[in-house]
Chains A and B, each alone.
Chain A
Amino acid sequence: MNKKIYKISIIFTLMFFALSISAQEKNEIIIFEKANELYSQKEYEQAIEKYQKVLKNGYESAELYYNLANSYYRTKQLNYSIYYYEKAKLLAPDDEDIQNNSEMAKLLVNNRPTPIPELGIIIFMKKIVTARNHNFWSYLSVSSFIISLFLAAYFLISRSSTTKKITFSVSVVALFISALSFFFTHKQLNFLKAKNRAIVFSVTSPVNSSPDENSTKLFDVYEGFNVKIADVSGVWYKIILEDGKQGWIKKETLKIL
């Protein structure tokens, strides 16, 4: 029986090895740290350059997006600032600093629509799902699944009825947690990969009633608006504003999150 436990723990450690830091990652972190130094010296333009370099090399993290957004905020590039705060929020929905600064940046948005209030239960669900980032949920799911199986195995080999009772119930709870966090992981990953949200990048831009230059102009959107993309047609996107207004806008005015 001991041999089995040993085997499982080896599998577990191997999994973590696969996720360990590589050499290139270390290089990128050095650039990242340099950018942070430039930021502290108020050389925001140069800091932006360095942060963007890390991004271009194919690396990302909530901290990177957050620091980059801060730099853009300092250089008064509201659209980029809001865009990267949103990016950071996708990776770390639970980070309080990101939430705070994102709200600060949104205060500068012109004529910002008031979001439609959501149902209490949906807010509650969203809060649970975004209480931790997807990485946390995925690890939690796998580890609680393994714990659940461990306990199930222990349940089988144990003779005492009390141990059997405890191991059985804890195993079921662990399995439930595993399933739930698996669901949360997927929810967040879907959100991340959906690519159905965008930030308005042009200072101001008209929104039309149909994907046609000559159609009726419905309203204007301003730099920094957070919109949902509902449909595509040629060079046009159908967008939904936070207050529920809908219309068609040219693709070039938006940057997809």
Chain B
Amino acid sequence: MRKTFIILISIILSSILIISTLFGNNEVKGNKPNQNKQISFTVKCEKIVSTGELFRVIFSVNDYASGFISPAFKGIQVISGPNTLSSQTYSYVNGNTTQLISTSYTYHLIAEKEGKFIIPSAQVTVNGKTYNSEPFEITVVKGENGNNTNNNLNQNNSNSNSENDISDNVFIKTTYSKTNVYPGEFIISTTKIYTKIDIRNLAEKNTPKYTGFWIKDIQAPQNIQAERELLNGQVYSAALLRQTIIYPQKIGKYQIEPYELEVSVKQKVGKEYDIFGRIVDRYAFVNKPVKANSVTITVKPFPEKEPENFSGIVGENFKISASVDKTNLKTDENINYTLRISGNGNLYLLNEGGLKIPDAFDSYKPNVDEAIKYTISGGEGFKEFKYLLLARKYGKVKIEPLEFVYFDIKTNKFETIRTQSFDIDIEKGENYSTVANQGVQVINKDIRYIKEKNITLKQKNKNFGGSSIFYLSYIIALLAFIVFVLIRRKTIKENSDIAKVRNKKAGKISQKRLKTALNLLKANKETPFYSEILKSLNGYLSDKLNLNQNLATKGEITNLLSEKNVNQEYINSILDIMNTCEYAQYGPVGNNKTPESVYAETENIINKMESIL
């Protein structure tokens, strides 16, 4: 019984111990960052205040602090302070407990004189260490009304009471970093709203169109944060509405449309009775349009003539690099060629053109990668082109360097940078076939070269065709022909006269010959007889046909006779007589023809011929 009691007590004790240690651990965890954390001692204050305005300066430490030594505010009246406030907050985020401790010292001050004042550093001690705050500069400007004790809100009310025109109190201003630029040179446009009065509900009515420009928003804050700013000697709370980077595209003058907003302004709208029955002013928020200034931007031409291969890129700090993943490959394999151009400029415009891909490769449209960050210092980044080159032919191939020509706004000149060249060795692959070769490929079209060989010149309007020589040559040729024909006619006439005489005399001559032949026959001289018969017949026909007797052969005679349509029978008998005579002159007559019958036949045929020819 006693034993079980002891065990029970020990169990309870140990469980308490475990629980307590667990909780204790928890505490330690929460405190741990406290020891290591960075102590910061900061000053918070408006940078610009007006004379007579009550303003606060807060020194704050992110831990428990002690031993605050106040700075000396020279020229500034301290109304109250330092008011010390320590706070401790816990926050649970995702199950972790965080403890936030802060100590702040607040002053309420009024500046009496205009000028720049420095709030010197204050000192605190945290965990035995001393920390100093940074000295802080404030600018004091002349107050609006000279009414020193009026606070901000009252001032606003009095303004809105007195006038409906709010343009002095609320306006938008767009500033441009440059207004005279080269095409492609960036401009930062900053639009801010300035106000002295309470406004709410900003609604964009019109944003500039920027026709002729390429634009990119740098900052368009979701929450508009106001900050005091001094403008023309007056204090405004200013807020950034939009910051844009713009790139002009073309030469010319451009009027940029103003930025327009509609804001709700607190304004007096009438009178009303309050709960005590007094007449008071009634206020309401009224929508008012607010317009920014309009600006003209001049885009000027480049100071030099654009080079032919100018990429259109304008900017500075450009670098170009190229790389290939291998330099030895086989046909049907591919290599990756990477081209990277980096710098600050209108890189968005850059396209992949310009790389001369050797014939040996098939290539596709490159993959384009770009990482460009647009800030107030321009668009900085790079553009990368990845070409996949498929080897089609084998051999040693050179990828020529690529030139990149841009306009440098720093040096005001066109600059050229280039990549290195690559020597690629392509071996014949296993599947290489000559079919892949598809003849000569047209790379570029250009006009053909001038004519240098066989050049001729002639005097203007001196053409052979249509000239007098041209016509004259026809006439001369024709005249020559006519002369020829006339001469020929004359000779033919003369010739034909001789022929006529011969023709007429032919009969008589042959009669004479025949008589002598008859005499020879009577004298029994047979050989001369045949010779005389032949002469008589040949001579007769030669005269009749106008042939030279000595040249007249049997062939000629027969041809001419058949031409003159002489009966073949007669021709045959003429040939027969001639043959007989020729044979008889050299030997005995083979056939049964007697000289008498030959004589008779000849006489007969001559008589017949006389009637035909």
Contacts and interface: CB of A to CB of B under 8 A. Distances in A.
Interface of A: 4, 7-8, 11, 15, 18-19, 25, 28-29, 32-33, 36, 39-40, 54, 58-61, 63-64, 66-67, 70-71, 73, 97, 100-101, 104-105, 134-135, 137-139, 141-142, 145-146, 149, 152-153, 156-157, 185-186, 188-189, 192
Nearest to B450: A67
B459 interface: yes
A28 B457 contact: yes
Nearest to B488: A156
Contacts of B458: 25, 59-61
Interface stretch (B11-19, B331-339, B479-487, B510-518): B479-487
B448 A100 contact: yes
B460 A142 contact: no
Contact of A59 (B451, B460, B466, B469): B460
Given A146-B477, A149-B481, A61 B469 contact: no
A137 B470 CA distance: 11
B465 A138 contact: yes
Contact of B477 (A25, A100, A145, A156): A145
B194 to A, nearest CB: 49
B447 A60 contact: no
Nearest to B453: A63
Contacts of B473: 11, 15, 142, 145-146
Contacts, number: 115
A156 B450 contact: no
B45 to A, nearest CB: 66
Interface of B: 445-452, 454-460, 463-466, 469-470, 473-474, 476-478, 480-481, 483-485, 487-488
A142 B446 CA distance: 40
B451 A97 contact: yes
Given A61-B456, A97-B448, A145-B474, A137 B480 contact: no
A8 B465 contact: no
A139 B470 CA distance: 8
Given A29-B457, A101-B447, A149-B480, A185 B488 contact: no
Interface secondary structure of A, over-half rule: helix
B455 A11 contact: no
Residue among B480, B483, B487 facing the most chain A CB atoms (10 A cut-off): B480
A160 to B, nearest CB: 11
Given A4-B480, A11-B477, A73-B447, 8 more contacts: A63-B456, A70-B450, A138-B465, A139-B464, A141-B465, A185-B466, A189-B463, A189-B465
A138 B456 CA distance: 18
Contact of A61 (B457, B466, B474, B476): B457
Contact of B481 (A70, A104, A153, A186): A153
Contacts of B478: 149
The 7 closest A-B pairs by CB, nearest first: A138-B465, A185-B465, A67-B450, A63-B451, A101-B447, A149-B481, A59-B457
A185 B466 CA distance: 8
Contacts of B457: 25, 28-29, 32, 54, 59-61, 64
A73 B448 CA distance: 11
A156 B483 CA distance: 13
A15 B469 contact: yes
Contacts of B476: 11
24 contacts: A4-B480, A4-B487, A8-B480, A25-B459, A36-B450, A36-B455, A40-B450, A58-B459, A59-B458, A59-B459, A60-B457, A61-B458, A97-B448, A104-B446, A134-B465, A135-B465, A138-B465, A141-B465, A149-B481, A152-B481, A153-B484, A153-B485, A185-B466, A189-B463
B463 to A, nearest CB: 6
Given A67-B450, A104-B447, A105-B447, A149 B477 contact: yes
